[in-house]
Amino acid sequence: MGKLFGTDGVRGIVNRDLTVDLALKLGLAIGTYFGEGAKVLIGRDVRFGGEMLKYAVISGLLSAGVKVYDAGLVPTPCLQYNVKTENFDGGIMITASHNPPEYNGIKVIGSNGVEIPRSAEREIEEILFESRFKYTTWGNVVDEVHKYPNAIEKYVNGVLEHIDTDRVKSKRFNIVVDSANSVGILPVTLLARRLNVRVIAVNSNLDGAFPGREPEPTVSSLQETARIVKSLGADFGVGFDGDADRAIFIDDEGRIHWGDRSAAILCRYLIDKEGRRGRVYTAVSSSILVEEYLKPYGVEIVWLKVGSVDIAHAMLRDPNVLCGFEENGGFMYPKHQYVRDATMTLALMLELLSYDGRRLAEIFNELPQYIPLKTKIPMKREDAEKVIETLKERYKGQRIITIDGVKIMFKDSWILVRPSGTEPVLRIMAEAKSEERLKELISEVKNIINEVLGK
**Nearest alpha carbon to residue 368 among 440, 275, 448, 295:** 295
Question: Count of CB atoms within 10 A of residue 75's CB?
Answer: 32
Paired residues of 299 in beta bridges: none
- DSSP-based three-state secondary structure for 154: helix
Cα separation, 278 vs 294, in Å, equals 11
Cα separation, 174 vs 196, in Å, equals 9
**Strands (DSSP E) found in 204-312:** 236-240, 247-250, 256-257, 279-283, 300-304
Clarify whether 97 is annotated catalytic: yes
CB of 236 within 8 A of CB of 252?
Answer: yes
CB of 135 within 8 A of CB of 55?
Answer: no
Question: Residue 133 carries which side chain, given as an amino acid letter?
Answer: F
Cα separation, 413 vs 409, in Å, equals 6
Catalytically annotated residue among 97, 285, 354, 413 = 97
- DSSP-based three-state secondary structure for 108: strand
Catalytic residues, by residue number, are 97
